Amino acid sequence: MAEFTLELNDDQKQVRDWLHGFAADVIRPAASEWDEREETPWPVIQEAAKVGIYSLDFYAQQFFDPTGLGIPMALEELFWGDAGIALSIVGTGLAAVGVLANGTEEQIGTWIPQMYGDVDDVKVAAFCSSEPDAGSDVASMRTRAVYDQAKDEWVLNGTKTWATNGGIAGVHVVVAVVDAELGSKGHASFIVPPNTPGLSQGQKFKKHGIRASHTAEVVLEDVRVPGHCLLGGKEKLDQRLARARESAASGGERVKNAAMATFEASRPAVGAMAVGTARAAYEVALDYAKTRTQFGRPIIDNQGVAFQLADMRTQIDAARLLVWRASWMATTGKPFTSAEGSMSKLYASETAKKVTAQAVQILGGNGFTREYPVERMHRDAAIYTIFEGTSEIQRLVIARTLSGMPIR
């Protein structure tokens, strides 16, 4: 078991510096253009593919880092470059992780390469879970999957929303209800292959921030997929549903705790994204405060500005430590007895909103214009307290975990 340390090893430092260089040289110069265009930055994704960043191999290497710090370190650097472009680069990973977590070896080997494509023809994939009436309340999901035994096909109907790469993806991973009586435990995931009839893009959202990342509805109308597109296979699904029914009859604690552990382990990744955006805004504000003169001196000479910067840096470092702790715990199998994963996501996302707002304030009128990047960073930061579980949901999870009470 890897010992906990706050010092990155030489290999980690090399990867960090490599990613930082890509973020500085490729992502940042393109950030303003693709934010204004509100389109998927295909040329930047292709550049990431050329150097090996946009690939399953790269993320697998970081995921299996025995310290647990590979993924948060990588995400922080990419999102330091720009949140919208970075999400376009890592968004396919959401679908890939869904297949890795639930698929068979054959499904993993078949579908994940198709999600990324190759250097000459890059592809993206989409993970489709949220619905118009089922965001935080996943038990309210309405998309249905019905098994046609005669044809060994699953028929999917419903509408997904807030899907990163939804509609433009080659491969879609869709979560659907197979047993409504079991609530969220009656869900299963399906691969929808490229060009499957019945799947279409619905509304494309024009967003406040992360505008270089494509977000849209995905509409499923009698979408038929072969039986082998059920992740994990039907035998495994039938066994899982049977266990869920037994668990429901006895209170459901074992299944509920397993689901909680899964969410807790994934939330630090969003925290790392937030840390990257906060750090970027802080660095712009610090440089500006050192060079901007008013009344014959740099504005950082004023305590009102200097103390803000001190608080910003302290909060960023604290957020990173919470993210690293939770990531290390997840990798080393430590139990999240105090909802440490939700703590990291909550604090880092709130820090990103606060720090980017302070950066705008320090830059004054300039911070309110698109001539300076803190305006974009402030818009981007708003998403961290919303997606992958709102701040309110994180607080609810933490409170329930600490108290053991069904707080509502």
The predicted structure's pLDDT at residue 259: 42
The predicted structure's pLDDT at residue 172: 98
Catalytic residue among 77, 264, 350, 388: 388
Cβ contact 154:224 at 8 Å: yes
φ/ψ of 224, rounded to 5, equals: -105, 125
For residues 330 and 318, give the distance between their C-alpha atoms in angstroms, rounded to a whole number. Answer: 19
Instruction: Give per-residue pLDDT as tens, 209-239.
Output: 999 999 999 999 999 999 999 999 999 999 9
Tell whether the model's pLDDT for residue 82 goes beyond 60. yes
264 classed as catalytic: no
Instruction: Give per-residue pLDDT as tens, 113-123.
Output: 999 999 999 99
Closest CA to 90 of 189, 205, 264, 213: 213
- Secondary structure of residue 157 in the 3-state scheme: strand
Tell whether the model's pLDDT for residue 263 goes beyond 70. no
- Secondary structure of residue 143 in the 3-state scheme: coil
Cβ contact 205:154 at 8 Å: no
Q: Above pLDDT 90, what percent of the chain?
A: 82
Pairing mode, if any, of strands 125-128 and 171-177?
parallel
Average pLDDT over residues 169-195: 94
The predicted structure's pLDDT at residue 56: 87
- Residue 408's pLDDT band, with cuts at 50, 70 and 90, is confident
Average the pLDDT over each of 30-34, 156-160, 180-184, 370-374 and give the range with the smallest value: 180-184
Q: What is the mean pLDDT of the chain?
A: 93
Tell whether the model's pLDDT for residue 31 goes beyond 90. yes
The predicted structure's pLDDT at residue 4: 60
The predicted structure's pLDDT at residue 246: 85
Q: Give CA 276 to chain center in angstroms.
A: 13
Closest CA to 214 of 319, 332, 341, 126: 126
Instruction: Give per-residue pLDDT as tens, 369-400.
Output: 999 999 999 999 999 999 988 999 999 999 99
- Residue 200's pLDDT band, with cuts at 50, 70 and 90, is very high
Average pLDDT over residues 245-252: 72
Average pLDDT over residues 160-174: 97
Domains of the chain and CATH, by start:
10-122 (1.10.540.10), 125-250 (2.40.110.10), 255-403 (1.20.140.10)
Distances (CA, A) of 287 to 279, 281, 283: 12, 10, 6
Q: Which residues contact 102 (CB under 8 A, 6 or more apart)?
A: 189, 231, 232
The predicted structure's pLDDT at residue 2: 56
Beta-bridge mates of residue 224: 155
Pairing mode, if any, of strands 171-177 and 199-204?
unpaired
Structure tokens at 296: 């014959």
